[in-house]
A and B are shown apart, each in its own frame.
Chain A
Amino acid sequence: RKEVEQDPGPFNVPEGATVAFNCTYSNSASQSFFWYRQDCRKEPKLLMSVYSSGNEDGRFTAQLNRASQYISLLIRDSKLSDSATYLCVVRCLDTGGFKTIFGAGTRLFVKA
């Protein structure tokens, strides 16, 4: 089982739609969680950190469910510019110390 798993997609949605991605992690000692966005042939960029109480940034809402070991990202009122790959990132305690694990990403296409 992968340490961080994401549905690769692609998710194809019309402009204005609401779309949600989930990401599961296997290490119960995970402590920090992030969502990144990566455009085609570009570097990943931090979208938002994920806090235990959940957090919102404009049209984006991130939530953490420690009991079920997953995080989610909700995008409301999708824009064409939201088309990208969304990476789930988890920082966890391993035998050698802390490590950061990147999921393989979920591709989103928003169409006019």
Chain B
Amino acid sequence: DGGITQSPKYLFRKEGQNVTLSCEQNLNHDAMYWYRQDPGQGLRLIYYSQIVNDFQKGDIAEGYSVSREKKESFPLTVTSAQKNPTAFYLCASSPGGTGGYEQYFGPGTRLTVT
């Protein structure tokens, strides 16, 4: 089945630790995105990548880092510099170009930092 997977579904970490969230897609999509959603709020863009080995900062990139070494994978690292890391993290992908711009989401990772 084609789709986007994120792991783990729930993640608990202590303050001061870096943590990496996984995102994999087998849709052959060029573009991938990371969003953060806080309770009762909309999605905020952290980072996005339109092509392998290239990525750009979104609206709230501070305290986060990404890599795009493979088309299928776009992992997000939440560093200890991120002041309020507890949130619901969503990864998405889209075909891009003539394939269309609608985004398809993975099931998300709920990160709790205490």
Interface residues of A (CB under 8 A from B): 32, 34, 41-46, 49, 87, 89, 91, 98-100, 102-105
Interface size class of B (residues with CB under 8 A): 10 to 19
Across the interface, B101 reaches (CB within 8 A) one of A32, A41, A45, A103, namely A32
Q: B104 touching A46 by the CB < 8 A rule?
A: yes
Provide the B99-113 mask, 1 if CB < 8 A to any CB of A, else 0.
001111111100000
Interface residues of B (CB under 8 A from A): 33, 35, 41-43, 45, 88, 90, 101-108
Return the chain A residue nearest B103 by Cβ: A100
Q: A46 touching B90 by the CB < 8 A rule?
A: no
User: Which residues of A are found within 8 Å of B107, using beta-carbon distances?
Assistant: 42-43
Q: A34 touching B106 by the CB < 8 A rule?
A: no
User: Which residues of B are found within 8 Å of A44, using beta-carbon distances?
Assistant: 43, 90, 105
User: Which residues of A are found within 8 Å of B90, using beta-carbon distances?
Assistant: 43-44
Q: For the A-B complex with A44-B43, A46-B102, A102-B42 known, give 18 more contacts whose Cβ atoms are closer than 8 Å.
A: A32-B102, A41-B88, A42-B107, A42-B108, A43-B106, A43-B108, A44-B90, A44-B105, A45-B105, A46-B103, A49-B102, A87-B42, A87-B43, A89-B103, A98-B101, A100-B45, A103-B42, A105-B42
Q: Which of A43, A44, A91, A99 has the most CB of B within 10 A?
A: A43
Please judge, given known A-B contacts A34-B102, A44-B90, A49-B102, whether A104 and B108 are in contact too, CB under 8 Å: no
Q: A104 touching B42 by the CB < 8 A rule?
A: yes
User: Which residues of A are found within 8 Å of B42, using beta-carbon distances?
Assistant: 87, 102-105
Q: B101 touching A91 by the CB < 8 A rule?
A: yes
CB B86 to nearest CB in A, in angstroms, measures 14
User: Which residues of B are found within 8 Å of A49, using beta-carbon distances?
Assistant: 102
**Alpha-carbon separation in the docked complex, A99 to B104 (Å):** 15
Return the chain A residue nearest B43 by Cβ: A102
**Alpha-carbon separation in the docked complex, A70 to B88 (Å):** 29
**Alpha-carbon separation in the docked complex, A42 to B110 (Å):** 10
**Alpha-carbon separation in the docked complex, A19 to B33 (Å):** 32
**Alpha-carbon separation in the docked complex, A90 to B106 (Å):** 20
CB B53 to nearest CB in A, in angstroms, measures 18
- Interchain residue pairs A-B with the least CB separation, the first 8: A104-B42, A43-B105, A102-B43, A43-B108, A32-B101, A102-B42, A91-B101, A46-B102
